[in-house]
Amino acid sequence: MEAQVQVVTRLRAAFRSGLTVPEQFRRSQLLQLVALLKDNEEAILTALHSDLRRPKFESVLAEIEMVSTELHHALSNLSSWMKPQYVDKNLATKLDDCFVRREPVGLVLVVGPWNYPLQLLLLPLVAAIAAGNCVILKPSEISAATDGLIAELLPRYLHQDCYAVVSGGAEETSALLTIPFDHIFYTGSQAVARLVLQAAAVHLTPVTLELGGKCPCFIHDQVDVAAAARRLAWSKFFNAGQSCVAPDFVLCSAATRDALLPALRDTLQEFYSQEPQKSPHLSRIVSPRHCTRLTELLEKTSGKVVIGGESDPEDKYIAPTVVVDVAEDDALMKEEIFGPILPIVTVESVTEGIDFINRHDKPLALYVFSDSSSVVRQVLEKTSSGGFCSNDGIVHMTLPGLPFGGVGASGWGKYHGRWGFETFSHQRACMLRGWALERLNGLRYPPYSEDKLGW
Ligand code: NAD
């Protein structure tokens, strides 16, 4: 705890000195992050492989490319984001300067999860640096290799008085959360989010929550089944299903399910061969404990496993699995699956699908697969979710122009691109007045009269 307080004291002093505020400084640190990625790509990919046995291709896409895109977007747009934003004026303020000034909030705490351990720490870091803040990163202890690498690399590239990594698990994070911050940015489970909120309430600290939940994928009868199977399987089994925006379950009619199953079988064979456990293209579950949770879910389900179902806890392996005849109250439908198990729930109409979605918490992402643009619009307009994507999964989060975040129980607040810059900025309302037009001001001073109101 003493060490944590020392880090906070050092970073607070740096923030008060104004070091992180000039655009030039922000740029220099963002460029250092570009260099960190470039110089250490192999080490990063090795660490991610060691944590998740994730294929290099997936790590390049989901971690290196995601962070690089965000960095280049921030570097290209920083000057315009930092400019004061002039607002419309009225007669009484026509000679004044009226503008919104984006100011850094101060010292930010970023707490990350293990599933994309680099991306989910560095994307908020990029936004917080761009906005001129000091930052403490708290990686997940579960992705130990990546956590260790980030803790080793960051101080070598970034200014040590402004940015720091504090490692540890629940105990260390709880201790850290007793210290006042100016903003807490938390990515992880809903259960821990409640603890973060309780700790933040003590200091009235603003909080961004990037959470999970169950992301539905509604598949309409009018659809290219082969393409739907490929896009669904890719977005579900990428990182072995351990993605907050992975389609958690499918909603479709019995007829579509019957057409989809052989297409999914073919796709999975094409992606991971007949022996997926030997495939270098399929990630592993992060730990034996997480693997057990998933095998227990498969034991508890009253649905029928029609594809996969095999597991090997010693190898942290769960086969890409599809389960049908899954009821709304099944064990697989009670919690976020966060693994390579795909339940299919049958609904016989678009309206039934929409009602099903609206009976549950607002998801982080909602997917609709259909050839009919009117069906896509109908689902879009009649539901709510953090993000929405038709005829694909996950890819909507790769654009820095789109905000990323949940709604309701799937999260509070947004980031990516300008949205992250705004999250870590205080939008200060500024009116710079002079002494002119004092006669006009006389209209609002006592003694009041009806005439003055009529003016
Ligand atoms: P988690 O909540 O277990 O851990 C997240 C962080 O909280 C870690 O840094 C961990 O050390 C810390 N932590 C754990 N227990 C704590 C406690 N008792 N007190 C204080 N801190 C504690 O989450 P996870 O298992 O790492 O991640 C999986 C969850 O995160 C899933 O629900 C997933 O959907 C969600 N997620 C959301 C997003 C998003 O962007 N919305 C992205 C990735 C993951």
User: What DSSP assignment string belongs to 389-445?
Assistant: EESSSSGGGG-TTS-B---GGGEE--BSHHHHHHHTEEEEEEEE--S--HHHHGGGS
Q: What percent of the chain is predicted at pLDDT more than 90? A: 96
Separation between Cα atoms, residue 383 and residue 356, nearest integer Å: 10
Structure-block tokens of residue 103: 């100011």
For residues 430 and 99, the answer to whether their CB atoms sit within 8 Å is: yes
For residues 85 and 22, the answer to whether their CB atoms sit within 8 Å is: no
What are the E-state strand segments in 21-116?
85-86, 97-104, 107-111
pLDDT at residue number 455: 59
pTM of the complete model: 0.97
Sequence-distant (6+) residues with CB within 8 A of 284 are 52, 53, 54, 240, 315, 316, 317
CB neighbourhood size of 255 (10 A): 11
Query: What is the H or E stretch that residue 137 is in?
Result: strand 134-138
Q: How many alpha carbons lie under 13 Å from residue 376 in its C-beta half-sphere?
A: 14
Point out the catalytic residue in the list 58, 63, 70, 210. 210
pLDDT digits (tens, 9 = 90+) for 402-452: 999 999 999 999 999 999 999 999 999 999 999 998 888 888 999 999 888
CA-proximal residue: ligand 1, atom 39 (nearest) = 210
Q: Which atom of ligand 1 is nearest to the CA of 177?
A: 20
pLDDT at residue number 89: 97
pLDDT digits (tens, 9 = 90+) for 177-232: 999 999 999 999 999 999 999 999 999 999 999 999 999 999 999 999 999 999 99
Sequence-distant (6+) residues with CB within 8 A of 382 are 354, 358
pLDDT digits (tens, 9 = 90+) for 297-323: 999 999 999 999 999 999 999 999 999
pLDDT digits (tens, 9 = 90+) for 357-382: 999 999 999 999 999 999 999 999 99
Mapping DSSP onto H, E and C, the string for 302-338 reads: CCEEEECCCEEHHHCEECCEEEECCCCCCHHHCCCCC
For residues 184 and 177, the answer to whether their CB atoms sit within 8 Å is: yes
Q: Is 2 a catalytic residue?
A: no
CA-proximal residue: ligand 1, atom 26 (nearest) = 113
The complex's ipTM works out to 0.97
Taken as a whole, the chain contains a residue count of: 455
How many angstroms separate the alpha carbon of residue 407 from the centre of ligand 1? Answer: 17
Separation between Cα atoms, residue 3 and residue 15, nearest integer Å: 19
Return the bridge partners of 100, or none. Answer: 85, 429
Q: Is 387 in the pocket of ligand 1 (CB under 6 A)?
A: no
Q: Is 291 a catalytic residue?
A: no
Separation between Cα atoms, residue 419 and residue 264, nearest integer Å: 36
How many angstroms separate the alpha carbon of residue 188 from the centre of ligand 1? Answer: 3
pLDDT at residue number 203: 98
pLDDT at residue number 439: 86
